[in-house]
Structure 1
Amino acid sequence: MPIIKHQQFIQAPVKVCFDLARNVDIHTKTTAQTKEKAIGGVTHGLLEKGDTVTWQATHFGIKQRLTAKVIHMEKPLVFVDVMVKGAFSSFTHTHQFKEEKSGTLMMDTFEYKSPFGPFGIIADKIFLEKYMTDFIISRAKALKKIAESAK
């Protein structure tokens, strides 16, 4: 099961970073390259514990749907979402925020299991793990840009 970890320092208060990361409208803006949009569950505003959201996006030229549920939240330090329906066999995405002297350290931990057994493991090694890593880094950089421009 691949585990992707990424840290992004953001020169903005922890609450600002936390709220941007759980904002459905901001998620749509930061994932424009995959044309993500919320089509079910919470479709606007801030996600809370127990909320679900169904995303529609285009990955690898294929339109897909994925439903995630927020299963844990400690404001403004951490929230965790898991896939309840979608292309992966499973995933857990932990979003952590640590207040620093001059801003916030945002830490993503994305654990997933590909479908299709041994073929999924091969796909991970060939392209999927890199694709998901690039996706998470791209979103973190976009959140940084939004948070730092909001000053």
Structure 2
Amino acid sequence: MTASFTEVTRAVCTPEELFDLSLSIDTHLESMAHSGERAVGGVTSGAIGLGESVTWRARHFGVVWKMTSRITDLDRPHRFVDEQVRGPFRSFHHEHRFERTGDVTVMTDTVTLRSPLLGWIVEPLLLRPYLQRLIRTRNTVLVDTLAHRRSDPAA
């Protein structure tokens, strides 16, 4: 079984600002500090780019997981895709879209995944809600970081 969800986030910034910050390994790590997430292979700091990969190590559901993701498509500042190339999922595809509407950039995250076993139970009841919360947390950090930069240009 395949599970999918979409999260929409709005930020007062340019698409370029939100796009670039979304590719920041350092900002991602800040947003996932609660899970002890670390970048342990590939691009481990700064911005990740097309064809590059990062291996994450984090604790979720009381278990330590490793997952390697690669940027498989990138069209700055409109869209990029990261996909699992090694890890706990049968498949994991995360598309990030950026669209300007007036002074606001709308970022749409669409995640499609397949779990390794018992997907028909695990995906809708556990994985999808959990991953949606992770994406929301990550996006809140992105928006807060951009707001802080706008209010304090020295930051």
Instruction: Confirm whether residue 5 of structure 1 aligns to residue 6 of structure 2.
Output: yes
Residue 111 of structure 1, CA deviation: 0.4
**Structure 2: 5+ residue stretches without partners:** 151-155
Residue equivalent to 1:115: 116
**Aligned AA for 2:57?**
Q
1:1-151 correspondence runs (5 A):
1-116=2-117, 119-151=118-150
1:94-115 deviations in Å (ceiling 9; x for gaps): 0111112112101100000011
CA distance in 2, matches of 1:100, 1:17: 13
Q: Give the drift of 1:142.
A: 1.4
Unaligned runs of 5+ in 1: none
Cα distance, 1:120 vs structure 2: 2.4
Q: Distance in 2 between matches of 1:56 and 1:125?
A: 24
Separation (CA, whole Å) in 1 of partners of 2:76 and 2:68: 22
Matched positions, count = 149
Bigger mean CA offset, 12-21 vs 123-132: 123-132
- SS at 2:124 equivalent: helix
Q: For the aligned residues, what is the CA RMSD?
A: 0.9
Query: Which residue type is aligned with residue 39 of structure 1?
Result: V
Amino acid at match of 1:144: V
The alignment's TM-score, normalised by the length of structure 2, stands at 0.93
